Structure 1
Amino acid sequence: MGSRGALGGLPFAVVVGWAVWHLLELTLWRGNADPGLGFVWLVSFLLLWWLPICWLERPATVTESERPGIDGLRVTVQIPVYNEDPQALRACLESVFAQARPVQRVRVVDDGSVDGATGEPLLYDAERAFLLRHAKRHGIEATWDRTPNRGKRWAQMHVLCEDDADVFVTLDSDSVLDEQAVAEGLKPFADPRVQSVAGLVVPLNSKTNLLTRLTTVLYIPFTRGLRSAQSVLGSVLINSGTLAFYRADVVREHAGVYERETFRGVPMQMNDDSMLTMYARLAGRTVHQPSAVCFTLVPDRARHYFRQQLRWMRGTTVRHLWWLRHMPVRSLAFWMPVVEYAHLILALLVPVGVLVTPHLRAQSGSLAWYTLILGCAMNYLVSLRLFAIRRTDETLGHQVLMFALSPVAGLWRLMVLRPLYLYAMATCWQIGSWGTRSRVEVHVAPAR
């Protein structure tokens, strides 16, 4: 890991040095240059503060003296289910029973799933029987409850508020754990200051089509970039609900409040992960464990993808407003939305400035060329993190192909997701319980 950190820091220093030199030459050292544009470019680089820091992340380890305390933790895995593909749910349950470090309980809550075609209750009799049968075989306590549809937070707290575990693990029903995920995810709790641990989320169906390949690349800046950098500072702000570990007292303490959050009088059921993470951050350190890996199904159709993105973006907007209102100015949580909005403002102001300023308009070709080169360089630099995970279902050639998609992902982020984010910000009050699952959305491909 140490050599990887150096490998990441060196190209970052080279690219930044090269960029600063040429952009200063372009915007300051020429006679008709605009110093303001040079300042904008430099600020843009500063907003990428997380890029070198993320390479400093190291997985937490446990000493022999700390091992008994970690082994003695009672762990409950909570799996909320709503309109899930039965095969995906079965794979999820199988991965829990296959853990190298067994858990003590598995609690599944079906939040009133329905058949999208008939409107009849969608029952998982075979999956429920599988859970109870295998739990008994492994000596694990298991429960399966079906509740009226009230949203993911209610499904989670239906069983967690009275559970006496030491650590709660939240796991999405369309996700599969690596066999070492729980063992690795518990290691950071050897530090008594740590209150929550984010797992590393990797798309499971990355090879389905171009959209899932693109999504895999788009995941990297957050899951292996920004979140890793925040972890180095002990201040992860948003765990992924796909896989996260919490000290149980943090969750129990907020039972009754967590599931009743509202925004403009509307129940706030999305962004459950950011709310639980913030509870943990207020109590201590929140970190990321890159060796606790979880594979999740991502949307493979455009309609589902855009609905999911809108849901996430609206939830993020609400959480940003919450941070700005409630978090102290000295906290990272306060400054993260400031940085995000600075990115958006610069993305809007720079093209306008080029259009309305005659001498910049005359240099628009050079500016576009430098922007293209820098954009590609930065996207490739971020995507080096793609090679940090070795997968038995992917060849090196496939990883190289994914790496080659990096500039396409950057263009997609700029041309599609940024405008969508602006729309989501303007409509952030349109929040629902699950958002994307009026029916089963992603199916597991049959085994060959």
Structure 2
Amino acid sequence: MPGATYVPVGGPGALGGLPFVAVVCWATWHLLTVTVWRDSADPGLGFVWLVSFLLLWWLPVCWLERPAGITEAQRPGIDRLRVTVQIPVYNEDPHALRACLESVLAQSRRVQRVRVVDDGSADGETGEPLLYAAERAHLLAQAGRLGIEATWDRTENRGKRWAQMHVLADDDADVFVTLDSDSVLDERAVAEGLKPFADPRVKSVAGLVVPLNMKTNILTRLTTVLYVPFTRGLRSAQSVLGSVLINSGTLAFYRADVVRRHAGVYERETFRGVPMQMNDDSMLTMYARMEGRTVHQPSAVCFTLVPDRTRHYFRQQLRWMRGTTVRHLWWLRHMPMSSLAFWMPVVEYAHLILALLVPVAVLTSPELRQQTGSLAQYAVVIGCAMNYLISLRLFAIRRTDETLGHQLLMFLLSPLAGLWRLTVLRPLYLYAMATCWQVGTWGTRDRVEVRAPAPAR
């Protein structure tokens, strides 16, 4: 399995972004002075354009993030933490599940417990139970040899949250690690993920998620680039402020008492009277944020399988987008106006509205309509440069299964990822917002969706 190392300066570092910053400044100046502000055609549109840049506040701030470290005086306290890893399983590929379990047992900082809960996995076509007998036996045998307590329960299908709280509600650990069953940990992931807890104010830690199967096809490569703005951009900037708003359920660490205090409520969340089982990660993060700091530890790396077929990809995106919409409504209703959690959805929706209004303003203004070609050219130049700026964060991770040449290839895909985000994901997001009440137990995986390669023998 691959390993990964976080590079704080991001490979080329901030200096690598200077040419793209220069291009953005040049193109923006020409767009405003030669077209939008020429003869005072529409000064208001120029103001809107500048505001849209301010909404990308996170782009420079994310470069300030550094992994948390610990002193020798703090190390004994971190070493004493009792850690439980909880893995909910539902219709998972057996090879992927085996890789996940082995990565947990191979951690450089050994955990105290591994608690697997199979949420009633069953074949979507035959209805026959998927029992994972070999994987269960392997876990219990290997954990026993290592002195790690391991349990494996099977429950009726009720959703991920019920699977988690089935064991966490009464677990006496100090730190809970939530891990998806299709995820593979870098061997230092747990050791790195625990370091921020040396600060008693920290209540949760988000791990850094990277696609495991990025080289499968163009969709998985595109997904890898699309992950960057959130996993190494917005989340990193929020972490600088101690206010990460959405951990990834793929890998996250929580003070166990925060989770235990919300047992019985967390798994029973409803939206418009419908049980809310998706977006579990943002709910746990919100609990943690209400009690203290929530941060991101980019050196705690986790590999995950991403969809390699369009049908699965769009189903996953819809599930995430609908869950995010519901959580935005929660933040606007329950979080104080002085908090980042309140203003993040405001900024996101403002950006979305501006992106819709600018084309309308251009087409309805006779002066600007005559300059549509020039406006489009400058917009394309600015868009490409901004996407390259964002994607410089690709170089913040060095993977053992990736060459520099492949990193450069992924970097070159940045404008394509931006186009995909604009023409495909944005309309899908609007649809998800309009249908956000359609929530279910898992949302995907009525059968095994993505398969990991079989281990070599």
Structure-1-length-normalised TM-score: 0.98
2:245 counterpart SS class:
coil
Q: Deviations 1:258-315 (Å, cap 9, x if unpaired)?
A: 0000000000000000000000000000000000000000000000000000000000
Task: Please report how far the alpha carbon of residue 368 of structure 1 lies from its aligned counterpart in structure 2 after TM superposition.
Answer: 0.3
Give distance in 2, aligned partners of 1:416 and 1:3.
32
Measured in 2, the distance between the counterparts of 1:314 and 1:210 equals 25
Amino acid at match of 2:269: E
- Once the two structures are superposed, residues 162-201 of structure 1 have per-residue CA deviations (whole angstroms, 9 ceiling, x without a partner) of 0000000000000000000000000000000000000000
What pairs up with 1:346-357 in 2 under 5 angstroms?
Answer: 346-357=354-365
Following superposition of structure 1 onto structure 2, how do residues 52-63 of structure 1 map, counting pairs within 5 Å?
52-63=60-71
Query: Out of 212, 231, 251, which is 1:204 matched to?
Result: 212
CA deviation after TM superposition for structure 1 residue 14, in Å: 3.5
Alpha carbons 1:27, 1:34 under 8 Å: kept: no
Partners of 1:227 and 1:367 in 2: CA distance:
32
Match of 1:318 in 2: 326
User: Residue in 1 aligned with 2:168?
Assistant: 160
In the alignment, what sits opposite 2:142?
134
Q: Secondary structure at the match of 2:444?
A: coil
Q: Deviations over 1:76-103 (max 9, x none)?
A: 0000000000000000000001100000
Q: For residue 123 of structure 2, give the secondary structure of its aligned residue in structure 1.
A: coil
The residue that corresponds to 1:266 in the other structure is 274
Counterpart for residue 279 of structure 1: 287
Partner Cα distance (2:376, 2:239) in 1 = 35
* Pairing of 1:140-155 with structure 2 (within 5 A): 140-155=148-163
- Amino acid in the other structure paired with 1:217: V
Matched, 1:362 2:370: yes
TM-superposed CA distance for 1:24, in Å, is 2.8
1:175·1:294 contact (CA, 8 Å) conserved in 2?
yes
Give yes or no for contact 2:21–2:389 (8 Å, CA) kept in 1. Answer: no
Match of 2:307 in 1: 299
Give the structure 2 partner of residue 342 of structure 1.
350
Distance of aligned partners of 1:134 and 1:410 in 2 relative to their CA distance in 1, 3 Å threshold: same
Q: In structure 2, the residue corresponding to 1:390 is in which secondary structure?
A: strand
Q: CA-atom RMSD, angstroms?
A: 1.3
* Structure 1 residues 52 and 11, CA gap change in structure 2 (3 angstroms): farther
Give 3-state SS (helix, strand or coil) of 1:187's partner: helix
For 1:332, the equivalent position in structure 2 comes to: 340
Q: Matched residues in 1 for 2:60 and 2:262: separation?
A: 35
Q: How does 1:25-36 map to 2 (within 5 A)?
A: 25-27=33-35, 29-36=37-44
Q: Give the aligned partner of residue 76 of structure 2.
A: 68
Instruction: Provide, for residues 126-182 of structure 1, a one-character-per-residue CA deviation record: whole Å limited to 9, x for no partner.
Output: 000011001101000000000000000000000001000000000000000000000
Aligned twin of 1:124? 132
Distance 1:355 1:398, change over 3 A: same
Are the equivalent residues in 2 in contact too, given 1:9–1:52 (CA < 8 A)? no
Q: Distance in 2 between matches of 1:384 and 1:16?
A: 15
Shift of 1:27: 4.7
Q: Partners in 1 of 2:190 and 2:126 — Cα distance?
A: 38
Q: Aligned partner of 2:303: which letter?
A: F
Q: Which residue of 2 aligns with 1:227?
A: 235
Cα distance change, pair 279–308 in 1 and its aligned pair in 2 (3 A): same
Aligned residue number for residue 431 of structure 1 = 439
Structure 2 CA distance for partners of 1:420 and 1:49, relative to 1, 3 Å: same
How far apart, CA to CA, are the structure 1 residues paired with 2:62 and 2:270? 34
- Deviation at residue 33 of structure 1 after TM alignment: 2.4
Which deviates the most, 226-235 or 110-119? 110-119
**1:193 is matched with which residue: 174, 192, 201?**
201
Alignment partner for residue 372 of structure 1, among 373, 376, 380? 380
| Cα distance, 1:29 vs structure 2 | 4.2
Question: What is the deviation of 1:10?
Answer: 4.4
Paired residue secondary structure (2:350): helix
- Cα distance in 1 for partners of 2:16, 2:335 equals 32
Displacement after TM superposition at 1:117 (Å): 2.2
Residue 26 of structure 1 aligns to which amino acid in structure 2? Answer: V
**Structure 2 residue ranges without an equivalent (≥5):** 1-6
How many Å apart are 1:106 and its aligned residue?
A: 0.1
Shift in Å at residue 15 of structure 1? 4.8
Distance 2:61 2:414 in 1: 20
CA distance in 2, matches of 1:174, 1:73: 26
Aligned equivalents of 1:335 and 1:139: distance in 2?
Answer: 46
Q: Distance in 1 between matches of 2:127 and 2:36?
A: 65
Quickly say closer, same or farther: Cα 1:230–1:374, change in 2 above 3 A: same
* Secondary structure, aligned partner of 1:318: helix
Deviation at 1:343, TM superposition (A): 1.5
Q: Which amino acid aligns with 1:276?
A: L
State the shift of 1:338 in Å: 0.7
Letter in 2 for 1:38: G
| Aligned residue in 1 for 2:3 | none
Distance in 2, matches of 1:83 and 1:340, equals 34
Find the partner of 1:51 among 35, 49, 59. 59
Q: Specify the SS of the correspondent of 2:39.
A: coil
What's the CA shift string for 1:211-240, capped at 9, x where partnerless? 000000000000000000000000000000
**CA drift at 1:446:** 3.1
Aligned to 2:403: 395
Q: What corresponds to 1:408 in structure 2?
A: 416
Amino acid at match of 2:421: R
Conserved? CA contact 1:27–1:38, under 8 Å: no
Unmatched runs of 5 consecutive residues or more in structure 1: none
| SS in structure 2 at match of 1:339 | helix
Instruction: Sort the Cα spacing of 1:16 and 1:322 in 2 relative to 1 into closer, same or farther, 3 A.
Output: same
Percent of aligned pairs with the same residue? 84
Give the drift of 1:116.
1.7
CA contact (8 A) 2:88 2:181 kept: yes
Does residue 18 of the first structure (1) align with residue 46 of the second (2)?
Answer: no
Task: Name the SS of the counterpart of 1:308 in structure 2.
Answer: helix
